[in-house]
Structure formats: structure tokens, C-alpha cells
Amino acid sequence: MADAAPVDLDDDPVRGLTAALAAQHYIVDRPLATVLHLAGHLELPLLLEGEPGVGKTAVAEALAAVRGARLVRLQCYEGLSAHHALYEWDYARQLLDIRIGEAEGLSGSGVRSRIFSPEFLLRRPLLEAIWPSGDDRHRPVLLLIDEVDRADEEFEALLLEVLSQFQVTIPEIGTIRAERRPTIVLTANRTRALSDALRRRCLYHWIPFPSLEREIEIVRTRLPEASERLVQRGCLLVQRLRGGYYRKAPGVSETIDWLRALTLFGATDLDRARVQDTIGCLLKDSEDVAAFLGRDSEQMYREFGLLPDGRTA
Ligand SMILES: Nc1ncnc2c1ncn2[C@@H]1O[C@H](COP(=O)(O)OP(=O)(O)OP(=O)(O)O)[C@@H](O)[C@H]1O
Ligand SMILES: [Mg+2]
């Protein structure tokens, strides 16, 4: 069998994307970079799931910046309706125009065709992404459908046309298909199960908590002013907490906030009192805080050599 040709890493688009995202201060691992690359080239929506604070929203923002795309964001919530997600008619302007039409002696059908034209349409994020308006018409779009699992199931059904056909149907106007397909990123953290129909239309990736090495890299990128020792030991402590039995494990955003807080206090290493004072940056549940202070902290302090008098062993 002939030897496989060596891979030219400079021709590796996944590596190129990894570097471009790093330039936007977002650190990806190879599996995430690969799926981001594929979603762009296969023109398929990408569903990202993961625990809170692992960087799902931030990766969409960084990707938009890398692509020079306009970020159109739809924040989902319970009760989100087509009016807020797709489009609404501008009733106030339509009413005004009906009066003007009547004064001009226009027939009912004449007025009707005028007021149900695009200029009376208020584009909400999904329509704006498919059919951008104004000066933004020619810019690529990244549509971020954030926390899709917070919206109701009926809303998911409404999304399917956008996700599979990249089109929106407006009864009074017709079907509008995207001239240029937007990149679509959906995020979820399993508030409820998403339908198979939605999953089937997307590429999928689960963002795990980062490894220790990657988390250190992320914090260095986001918090260059923090001391190296503090970052290394702080990230290790957070990783230990994630291995504990807490109701809500700290995400990467918590790690960054915590180390930012310690840096603000002038800390260059961990110490007992500071860890206790700032534990609310990491644990966001009263039972978790009580469990840490009452059960786990002593063992943690021993492991990290944090002496009661504030010194480090
Ligand atoms: N891989 C990463 N590289 C750089 N920064 C990161 C990374 N992951 C997370 N962060 C940082 O953590 C912060 C929180 O991330 P983000 O808000 O995107 O999390 P999320 O997964 O969307 O959380 P939620 O589910 O609560 O919305 C970001 O603002 C960013 O600063
Ligand atoms: Mg988010």
C-alpha cells in the first residue's frame, strides 16, 4: 500500500478557522472548529448544546466577526410568538395610509395592495436574516437563535421552514427565499427536549466543559492581566468543583468572573479568605455555597496548600 500523502497543515481550513477565532479571543478545540467549518460549507444550521456558560453564545459572536457577518440575534423565551420572531405589520402606518388612500379616492383593493407591501412590514430577526433590509442587504448574516429550548414547541414548528428551506412565507406577499443563505447557529442547554424534526435539520455539537489546559488558555486570552499562578491554580480549583456534587457546576464564564474578581483584589495566588469571600462568583446556589463551605472547603484548602493564616504551604 502506498504511503498516505502528508497533510499540509497550512492548507487545513479547520486550523485556519481555529486561528481566526483565537484572534477574536475565542478558543476552540478541534471538534468544535470542525463542525463550525462544516456548517458554513454545507450551509446547514448548527445546533450547539452545552451547560450554561461554556461559550455557546460567545462562539456565535466570534464566528460572525470572523466571517465579517452581521449578527442577527433572536433571544428565545416562553411565549415567543411569530410576531416577535418573524414579522409584524406596522398597523399604525397602515391605518394612516388607509386614511390617505381614502382621501385620494383609492379603491378598497388599491389601498389593500398598498398597505400589505414590504414597506409596511416590520422585520423581526428571522425575516431580517432571510430578507435583510436597507444598507445591510449585501452583508452576510449570522442568525443566532439563542436558547431555543426556552421557546414553546409551537415556535419550533415555525422555525422548521427557516431551517430547512431558508425561506419565510407571508400570506399577503408570498414566499420569500434567502438570496444568500445566512449562517444559522442555535443554542440550547436542555431546559426541555427539542423535537426530532428540529434536530434532524441541524448539524449538532455538544460543547463540554473545557479541559484544564484549554480553560487556562481561555482565561489567559480573556484576562491577560491575571497572574499566571493564579490562573493555573484557579482553573484547577474550578475543575475540582465541577467534579463535586453541586446543583450548578461553574461554567467558563464563572471562572473568568472569579479570577477577574481575585485580580481586582490584587491576588496573585489563591488564599483561603479570598476564596471564601468570592465563592459567589463560582457557585450560584445557596445549597451549593453551603455544601462548599461546610463540606468541601477544608479538603480543597489542604489540597491547594491554603493555610488558615492566609499563607500558602
Ligand atoms: N472557548 C472560549 N473562548 C473564549 N471565551 C470563552 C470560551 N468559552 C466561554 N468563554 C467566555 O465565557 C463567557 C460566557 O460564555 P457564553 O455566554 O457564550 O456561555 P453560554 O454557553 O452561552 O451560556 P448560557 O447557556 O448561560 O447562555 C463568554 O462571554 C466568554 O467570555
Ligand atoms: Mg448563551
| CA of 54, closest atom in ligand 1 | 21
Residue-wise pLDDT tens digits, 163-192 = 999 999 999 999 999 999 999 999 999 888
Nearest residue by C-alpha to atom 15 in ligand 1: 55
Residues with CB under 6 A from ligand 1: 25-27, 50, 52-58, 187, 189, 218, 221-222, 252-253, 256
pLDDT band at 102, cuts 50/70/90?
Answer: confident
Query: How much is the pLDDT for 34?
Result: 98
pLDDT in tens, 199-248: 999 999 999 999 999 999 999 999 999 999 999 999 999 999 999 889 99
For residue 56, the CA-to-ligand 2 centroid distance in Å is 5
pLDDT in tens, 259-302: 999 999 999 999 999 999 999 999 999 999 999 999 899 999 99
Using a CB cutoff of 8 Å and minimum separation of 24, what contacts does 69-72 make? 69/139, 69/140, 69/141, 69/142, 69/182, 69/183, 70/132, 70/136, 70/139, 70/140, 70/141, 70/142, 71/142, 71/144, 72/125, 72/128, 72/129, 72/141, 72/142, 72/143, 72/144, 72/182
User: Which ligand is the nearest neighbour of the Cα of 53?
Assistant: 1
Task: Check whether 135 has a pLDDT greater than 90.
Answer: no
How far apart are the CA of 57 and the centre of ligand 2, in A? Answer: 4
Best of 54, 186, 189 for a ligand 1 pocket test (most atoms within 8 Å of beta carbon)? 54
Closest CA to 192 of 278, 77, 22: 77
